[in-house]
A = this chain, B = another copy of it.
Amino acid sequence: MFSQLGLIGCGLMGGSFALALKRAGLVKRVVGYSKSPSTTDTARRMGVIDTAAESALQAISGADLVLLAVPVSATEATLRAVRHMLDPRVLVMDVGSTKCDVVETAQKVLGPRLASFVPAHPIAGKETAGVQSADALLYQGRQVILTPLPQTDAAMVQKATDLWSALGCQVLKMTPQNHDAAFAAVSHLPHLLAFAYFSAVANQAAGRDFLSLAGPGFRDFTRIAASDPQVWRDIFMANKTEVLAQSRQFRAVLDQMEQAIQAQDAKALENLLRPVSEARGKWQLGQLGPLSTAKPR
């Protein structure tokens, strides 16, 4: 049980965390700060926060738990603004989708206070941003990745693990490097592809006519293209190397498939498609074995 959550950033992720803590009876009071006063107003009206702070520093004053839920690009400025007030006994976490950049920033800015900072990435989201989409159940049943450093206080890692577990999450630990490689593959690249694909269709001369014919496959494939552009701009830039590496692997397979189409080589094309269809079907059921055409890269 925490007495006071200092919430810096009251958007979808931060707001949902505050609501989840309240729902679980894990916090008495939430003091929230947001760059936009209208966000803190809405957050207070929705019961996401109890008190609106006028600065990040004010939000963490008296807190025994701090959550940084700002766009990745604002992490450094925010940590600089609050670092001298951080109590080494207070658990500080972020919720960013990239971890190498956050860890690097924290190492640079926090100095000896690094020990109480536990970088966290809850694998949850919505394609609608903002506090108005905050949801007490957003994190329930989801995975949360923690990427502690050798300097991180083990007690803080335990406290973070207990906290997310109490919200119904499955907690995993990884290095920041492994985290960023994995999420470039399963999250960042699909977002980039969905943005690029929707843009390409919509910007054609007949794009609006085409879009009026789109069905449920299109709807699901492009759902993530409605995601927050500022959040995703920051993620793509922060995880540039891994995202571009994943895109090269994707393009290599797309090239192969298109060559088979171009050559009207039905056999080759089917050999490329069939193991994918089978593997995706098994993945959905949690039964994915090695792909029959798996080639280590």
> CB within 8 Å of B: which residues of A?
73, 123-125, 127-128, 142-143, 145, 172, 181-183, 185-187, 189-211, 213-230, 232-234, 236-237, 240, 243-244, 246-247, 249-254, 257-258, 261-262, 264, 266, 269-270, 272-277, 279-281, 283-284, 288, 290-291, 293-297
Contact of A294 among B172, B202, B236, B291 (CB under 8 A): B202
Contact A250 B200 (CB under 8 A): yes
Q: Which residues of B contact A275 (CB under 8 A)?
A: 199
Taking A208-B288, A214-B187 as contacts, is the C-beta distance between A266 and B279 under 8 angstroms?
A: no
Q: How far is the CA of A222 from the CA of B253 in the complex (A)?
A: 15
Taking A199-B272, A203-B295 as contacts, is the C-beta distance between A192 and B266 under 8 angstroms?
A: no
Contact of A217 among B182, B191, B277 (CB under 8 A): B191
Closest beta carbon of chain B to A73's beta carbon, Å:
7
Contact A266 B73 (CB under 8 A): yes
Count this chain's copies in the assembly.
2
Contact B284 A196 (CB under 8 A): no
Contact B213 A190 (CB under 8 A): no
Contact of A257 among B190, B195, B210 (CB under 8 A): B195
Closest beta carbon of chain B to A36's beta carbon, Å:
17
Closest beta carbon of chain B to A269's beta carbon, Å:
5
